[in-house]
Structure 1
Amino acid sequence: MAYSGEPLLAQNLLFRPEHSLIDQSLHSHLGATTTNGDGFGIGWYGEGSVPAVFKSIEPAWNDSNLREIASQLRTPLFFAHVRASTGTAVQRSNCHPFRHEQWLWMHNGSLHGFQAIKRELVTAVDPSLYPDLQGSTDSETLFFLALTFGLTDDPFGGVARAVGFVEHTARSRGIENPVQMTVATTDGTSTWIFRYSSESRSRSLFYSTEMSTLRKLHPDVEELKDLGEEARIVVSEPLRDLPGAWNEVPESAAGVIRAGRDDMREFEPIPPA
């Protein structure tokens, strides 16, 4: 889940909705696994020059510290992720979101055949970035490849070149359909989202309808009154069944969310020259 808009108490989205991310950690309806109990993480922007992160290998539904923090944490932009390991170790450094300087990144999905091509992918990471790789996941590796290929200057192009490189590397080793991803990344001002898979069967991803429209549709829903006009929420699964509230990100699409302007476009990987 990603939120941006007027400063909001984190618990209002993490715990209060009927199908909150905490509920999804136990009872996912659309995910590849029903239970996502291999750790969690939240990242948010506050007073510092870089975002803060809080991660744990405990299940999100069973962590009292998360509830304590969420009840006091008010922020204009935060990420939250619950993890189901796809084969790498259950350890704090493998929990999302991942951070590099002012950037946050989280990924739902996997790179098929990652262990067979891990060496080629990791050694392609820019030498200046490599020391900051902390974990062993395909998700963090994809993040650092995107940074290597220009994420900070051109997020759409950086991710497209990273995905293109992964697909090229995998197919050279006989691995078909290597990429399965929904991704959210942010520099603290704008949030970019991506939905793509090599076989065009991507995991689910939704974004919220503009608040002014939602309030007209549902004037009696109290929760909407707490959200500012610029509030945007991106989720793997809708937080509640509210007609007109959620829009599915199209297959092979990418978008950017920022104050005053959103943009959605087609996403196509860029293979190496």
Structure 2
Amino acid sequence: MCRWAAYRGAPVFIEELVSSPAHSLIVQSHCATMAHTATNGDGFGLAWYGERPEPGRYRDVLPAWADCNLRSLASQIRSGLFLAHVRAATHGSTRRDNCHPFVVGNWSFMHNGQISGFAHLRRRLEAELSDVLFGFRTGTTDSELLFLLALQFGLDDKPLEAMAKAAGFVEDLSNEILGHALLRFTAAFSDGKNLFAVRYATDARAPTLYAAPVCGGSGHCLVSEPLDDEKDAWVEIPDGSTVILNERGLDVALFEPATGWAARMRKAG
């Protein structure tokens, strides 16, 4: 399982999540405590928003603990909205195109989890993409494809509804082809203004997700596991939830995949 951290609020240096805390994301890359594997050394990445609508991005295949450039960038870049990820590969080789976050236009996306039986589903899932979105398919992971499906299903207009449609489509296709569906994911995604997250699994065993205020409440972070031992500061986000972080603060709501909608659309057409 991968580990990730995301932030929205008053601008802070990226190191506030990535390298400075006692259990920072870099520490989690070699010593995670809430994952199936302690080591997440199959690459890393950052996506941050600044003066332009599109995010900046830095990714590499080195383990996060082994890249001195990561610490240098994190100590110099200040941002009010950023995503950071360390990877433990489940699908796709260790190469830069498979490292999170993924970016299309102003959108960024990162993911922790898996689509069971992905090798048997991949061709049908990719066939659902438009030619334009398929052109953004540079890697081979289920994570990137889930992001592109959400874009296909309307991420620009209704982000949480689009993610529910993407998850539901994967479940429906899994049941059709495999006879069962096993989808586990905790994902964060942003349009440069809002930060969204989803925690969900078909078997109620979703990867962990926590939230906490940062810098005296001037911002919030979402993380795979707490960055320090201040247990009272961290709130676990329930399985089957969405999180929205915007100028009004943090809001948690129910997440439910939109199953069956694609079949109904095809039947109606």
- The TM-score, its normalising length taken from structure 2, stands at 0.93
Matches of 1:183 and 1:18, distance apart in 2: 23
Residue from 245, 248, 254 that aligns with 1:260: 248
Residue from 218, 233, 236 that aligns with 2:221: 233
Matches of 1:87 and 1:9, distance apart in 2: 31
**What residue is the counterpart of 1:39 in the other structure?**
43
Q: Alignment partner of 2:131: what SS? A: coil
Matches within 5 A, 1:1-273: 1-208=5-212, 210=213, 227=215, 229-271=217-259, 272=261, 273=264
Q: Percent of counterpart pairs with the same letter?
A: 40
Matches of 2:150 and 2:257, distance apart in 1: 12
Deviates more, 1:260-269 or 1:27-36: 260-269
Report if aligned partners of 1:230, 1:260 keep a CA contact under 8 Å in 2. Answer: no
Matches of 2:218 and 2:155, distance apart in 1: 25
Q: Which runs of 5+ in 2 are unaligned?
A: 265-269
Matches of 1:194 and 1:123, distance apart in 2: 25
Matches of 1:133 and 1:23, distance apart in 2: 30
Structure 2 counterpart of 1:264, one-letter code = V
Report if aligned partners of 1:113, 1:175 keep a CA contact under 8 Å in 2. Answer: no
Give the CA deviation at 1:175: 4.7
Structure 1 counterpart of 2:170, one-letter code = V
Matches of 2:169 and 2:105, distance apart in 1: 23
Q: Alignment partner of 1:66: what SS? A: helix
Matches of 1:116 and 1:174, distance apart in 2: 8
Please list the CA deviations of residues 108-154 of structure 1 after superposition, one character each: whole Å capped at 9, or x if unmatched. 00111111010000110122211111111000000000001111111
Give the CA deviation at 1:12: 2.3
Structure 1 counterpart of 2:236, one-letter code = E
Report if aligned partners of 1:180, 1:197 keep a CA contact under 8 Å in 2. Answer: yes
Does the C-alpha gap of structure 1 residues 133 and 87 become closer, same or farther in structure 2, counting only changes over 3 Å? closer
Q: Which runs of 5+ in 1 are unaligned?
A: 212-226
Report if aligned partners of 2:30, 2:40 keep a CA contact under 8 Å in 1. Answer: yes
Matches of 1:81 and 1:52, distance apart in 2: 14
* Poorly superposed stretches of 4+, deviation over 6 Å: none
**What residue is the counterpart of 2:267 in the other structure?**
none
Q: Alignment partner of 1:135: what SS? A: coil
Matches of 2:103 and 2:148, distance apart in 1: 10
Matches of 1:71 and 1:55, distance apart in 2: 16
**What residue is the counterpart of 1:218 in the other structure?**
none
Provide the aligned length of Structure 1 versus Structure 2. Answer: 257
Matches of 2:193 and 2:216, distance apart in 1: 16
Deviates more, 1:84-93 or 1:261-270: 261-270
Matches of 1:176 and 1:23, distance apart in 2: 36
Structure 2 counterpart of 1:268, one-letter code = E
